[in-house]
A and B are shown apart, each in its own frame.
Chain A
Amino acid sequence: MNGAAAILKALEMQGVDTIFGHPGGTIMPTYDALYDSPIRHILVRHEQAGVHAATAYARASGRVGVCMATSGPGALNLVTGLQDALMDSTPVVALTGNVPQHLIGTDAFQEADVVGITQPVTKHNFQVRNVNDIPRVIAEAFYIASTGRPGPVLIDFPKDVQQAEFTGSFEVEIDLPGYKPTYKGHPRQIERALEALQKAEKPVLMVGGGAQHAAPEILALAEKTGIPVIPTLMGLGAFPGTHPQCLGMPGMHGSVAANRAIHHADTILAIGLRFDDRVTGKVSRFAPHAHTIIHVDIDPAEIGKLVKTAIPVVGDAKWVAAELAKGAKKLNLSKWWGQLEDWKTKHPFAWKPKPHLQSQEVIQAFWEATQGKAVVTSGVGQHQMFAAQFYKFDKPRSWINSGGLGTMGVGLPFAIGAALARPGELVIDFDGDGSFQMTLQELATLKKHDLNVKIVILNNGFLGMVRQWQDLFHAKRYSEVYLADSNPDFAKLAEAYGIKGITLTDKAKLHETVKEVLAHPGPVLLEARVYHEEGVFPMIPSGGAAEDMIIENPRETVAGD
């Protein structure tokens, strides 16, 4: 057995069944070994899509996603996706080939310092220099990727290591003396958290992406206490979006109720979130009345990094939430809920009816038609925020988007990864005309595997989110955001790949078109031509606070239709 075969055997032992990748010179021995392996390989058309698909595979399944690339340009194409996975704490293992060891450092053909370059974008990385280390390094990589705060790990294999004769053992022991994640929160801190909750008059429970695996415990805690719940963009689905205690997401494009609740809260219990600036706005003005912030996170470095924490609890969201639920009591929050209900009913996510088709109503129509049962992915931009606002996520792992890095182009590769992770389930990618064009070559991958992915391009002919900011903050100077004069006919583009393409322009045909899309077996691309100057509201301007929230589009009365 050579090193390459040992790599695949070690991956099999980790339970890997799918690898997203693209071959090239230095990873060829491993591709050769793949020919005889039971592991399924999904050939993507660009390595970036491979790492994104692996990310979505991980987030949709709760397992580790795996991608593979050759050295130099192939490996470098992973960088964006690795940082994306790092920011959103996703377990991914990336395998790269490298030039043979005697050529490392000589600027050989397709050589790059991949270990150096990917250090800041991974949780950890390795270069295997001895063929017999392969099983141990792979075991350590999966362990590091999937435990503690999950994250991406890269393993670099010089070509000669893949070719060398393997004489080692697959019985390995993981020995990482510096890596011991804490899962069980400190009992005294949990006790203090419960005491603080008991005294709270205006508490809120914020849940983030780190609580996706703790949904049942979060629900139990929320229902037992009666506390209002605010799932962040990454936390959508960790608490049912249609639950009466759900206030919607907070932050820049969050709900009025969520943002005002945080602003007026006296106690914040935050589980598995990292207080991103898109959530807090200006930190010094965030939650000014909250005398007690309880922060539960598995990564000690997140606690106290941005907001002042009164009660830190280092531990796993699932474990800590279960302990809190066990000890919690019903709170008397009728006065608080009176206020919250008022905000909820007065300011739900909404849009003004227009003669044109609008993104919001397209998403709403899909939500109604699928009864919220689809796995939804999105690109990055206005369509992403509309999807977060108008598709109500009731189940964990049903909303896969790029929260931390805001990576345009992730929608389609995320959808492919999610569809492969969850066979038999419907996947909808809400995408933008700008975002979609960053990775549209993956239509080929979609076609090849005939996955049940419905791509819904909300085409407003603009880089809509940038245009919105230019509108509000740059005196409508629309610098380099107009796409409509050069966008392709998206339906024809899909047809060119052998995928069913539909164009929707007539508002009256929305519901029948949604039915048509969902009824068609296999992939469909729907291009919905939507109102071109829509903005996402509510909005807290960058660096602002909850009080600065713009609830409705200020241009609406001026610009009209």
Chain B
Amino acid sequence: MRHLVSVLVQDNPGVLQRIAGLIARRGFNIESLAVGRTHQPGLSRISLVVSGDDAVLEQVEKQLNRLIEVIKVTDHSEPHVERELALVKVSIAGMEERLEVKDIAEAFRARIVDVAKKSIIFELTGDSTKVNNFVEAMRPYGLLEVMRTGAVGMSRGEQVLKVREKKAV
């Protein structure tokens, strides 16, 4: 079972290494890992995709929570938005192929971001299935390069990942 997990962390140096290292050491397989800053200074947000049953997911969350710099961990089992950005460079033999490829891209709402004599680069966003399907649709034409960011996600509605209020110690 595939799970998308969001992790809010303090963006101290080395925090990504800690998280990736912890997960690898514990033997959990990461399918993708994406990280970026949030609107709050000092906080970054990580999206990671892991596969495994509920017990695996529970351990991933608990182990992540043990890290001092991890503020909050959420598994997106509720309705959520999930996106991935991909850059796909496709080989083009001739004019006929070029048109075919463009038609497919349109169906996926992929944008052309570079055109050369023998290749095109598409930019595509969507959930991971959509990206997979696009890549497969382009495969027959000759994939030269595929670069994916990995999934990022966010809960729908009012639910947010935030720092808990400070409790008096």
Whether the Cβ atoms of B18 and A119 lie closer than 8 Å is yes
Interface string of A345-366 (1 = CB under 8 A from B): 0000000000000000000000
Whether the Cβ atoms of A301 and B10 lie closer than 8 Å is no
Of B67-75, B84-92, B130-138, B143-151, the one with at least 4 CB within 8 A of chain A:
B67-75
Say yes or no for B37: interface residue by CB 8 A criterion.
no
Given A120-B25, A301-B59, A305-B59; A178-B18 close (CB under 8 Å):
no
Smallest CB-CB separation from B55: which chain A residue? A304
Q: Which of B18, B22, B58, B66 has the most CB of A within 10 A?
A: B66
Complex CA distance for A124 and B14, rounded to whole angstroms: 11
Complex CA distance for A382 and B14, rounded to whole angstroms: 41
Residues in B whose Cβ lies below 8 Å from that of A124: 67-68
Given A119-B18, A120-B21, A300-B65; A178-B70 close (CB under 8 Å):
yes
Say yes or no for B9: interface residue by CB 8 A criterion.
yes
Complex CA distance for A393 and B18, rounded to whole angstroms: 39
Residues in A whose Cβ lies below 8 Å from that of B29: none
CB of A91, distance to nearest CB on chain B (Å)? 14
| Residues from 110 to 142 in A contacting B, C-beta threshold 8 Å | 115-116, 119-120, 123-124, 127
Contact pick for B164, options A123, A127, A180, A304, CB 8 Å: A180
Residues in B whose Cβ lies below 8 Å from that of A144: 68
Whether the Cβ atoms of B10 and A177 lie closer than 8 Å is yes
CB of B59, distance to nearest CB on chain A (Å)? 7
Whether the Cβ atoms of A304 and B58 lie closer than 8 Å is yes
Given A299-B66, A300-B65, A301-B66; A177-B21 close (CB under 8 Å):
no
Complex CA distance for A391 and B66, rounded to whole angstroms: 36
Smallest CB-CB separation from A305: which chain B residue? B59
Whether the Cβ atoms of A178 and B9 lie closer than 8 Å is yes
Say yes or no for B62: interface residue by CB 8 A criterion.
yes
Complex CA distance for A305 and B26, rounded to whole angstroms: 12
Say yes or no for B163: interface residue by CB 8 A criterion.
yes
Complex CA distance for A176 and B68, rounded to whole angstroms: 7
Say yes or no for B117: interface residue by CB 8 A criterion.
no
Given A299-B66, A300-B62, A300-B65; A178-B21 close (CB under 8 Å):
no
Interface residues on A, range: 10 to 19
Smallest CB-CB separation from B14: which chain A residue? A115
Whether the Cβ atoms of B68 and A180 lie closer than 8 Å is no
CB of A306, distance to nearest CB on chain B (Å)? 10
Interface string of B44-82 (1 = CB under 8 A from A): 000000000001001100110111111110000000000
Residues in B whose Cβ lies below 8 Å from that of A120: 21-22, 25
Complex CA distance for A305 and B58, rounded to whole angstroms: 9
CB of B132, distance to nearest CB on chain A (Å)? 33
CB of A151, distance to nearest CB on chain B (Å)? 10
Whether the Cβ atoms of A178 and B68 lie closer than 8 Å is yes
Say yes or no for A179: interface residue by CB 8 A criterion.
yes
Complex CA distance for A144 and B66, rounded to whole angstroms: 11
CB of B74, distance to nearest CB on chain A (Å)? 14
Q: Interface size (B, Cβ < 8 Å)? A: 27
| Residues from 81 to 118 in A contacting B, C-beta threshold 8 Å | 115-116
Smallest CB-CB separation from B69: which chain A residue? A178
Say yes or no for B118: interface residue by CB 8 A criterion.
no
Residues in A whose Cβ lies below 8 Å from that of B72: 178
Residues in B whose Cβ lies below 8 Å from that of A127: 13
Residues in A whose Cβ lies below 8 Å from that of B70: 178
Whether the Cβ atoms of B18 and A301 lie closer than 8 Å is no
| Residues from 498 to 545 in A contacting B, C-beta threshold 8 Å | none
Interface string of A166-182 (1 = CB under 8 A from B): 00000000101111100
Interface string of A288-308 (1 = CB under 8 A from B): 000000000001110011000
Whether the Cβ atoms of A301 and B63 lie closer than 8 Å is yes
Residues in B whose Cβ lies below 8 Å from that of A180: 164, 167
| Residues from 2 to 23 in B contacting A, C-beta threshold 8 Å | 9-10, 13-14, 17-18, 21-22
Residues in B whose Cβ lies below 8 Å from that of A119: 14, 17-18, 21
Smallest CB-CB separation from B66: which chain A residue? A301
Smallest CB-CB separation from A304: which chain B residue? B58
Residues in A whose Cβ lies below 8 Å from that of B21: 119-120
Given A120-B25, A304-B58; A177-B66 close (CB under 8 Å):
no
Residues in A whose Cβ lies below 8 Å from that of B68: 123-124, 144, 176, 178-179
A-B contact pairs, 14 of them (CB 8 A): A116-B17, A119-B14, A120-B22, A120-B25, A123-B68, A177-B10, A178-B10, A178-B69, A178-B71, A179-B68, A180-B164, A299-B66, A300-B65, A305-B62
9 additional A-B residue pairs with CB within 8 Å, beyond A178-B10, A178-B67, A180-B167: A144-B68, A176-B68, A177-B71, A177-B166, A178-B72, A299-B66, A300-B62, A300-B65, A301-B65
Query: B residues bordering A, Cβ < 8 Å?
Result: 9-10, 13-14, 17-18, 21-22, 25, 55, 58-59, 62-63, 65-72, 163-164, 166-167, 169
Query: A residues bordering B, Cβ < 8 Å?
Result: 115-116, 119-120, 123-124, 127, 144, 174, 176-180, 299-301, 304-305
- Closest CB pairs A-B (n = 10): A301-B62, A178-B71, A124-B68, A178-B70, A177-B163, A179-B68, A177-B71, A301-B66, A300-B62, A301-B63
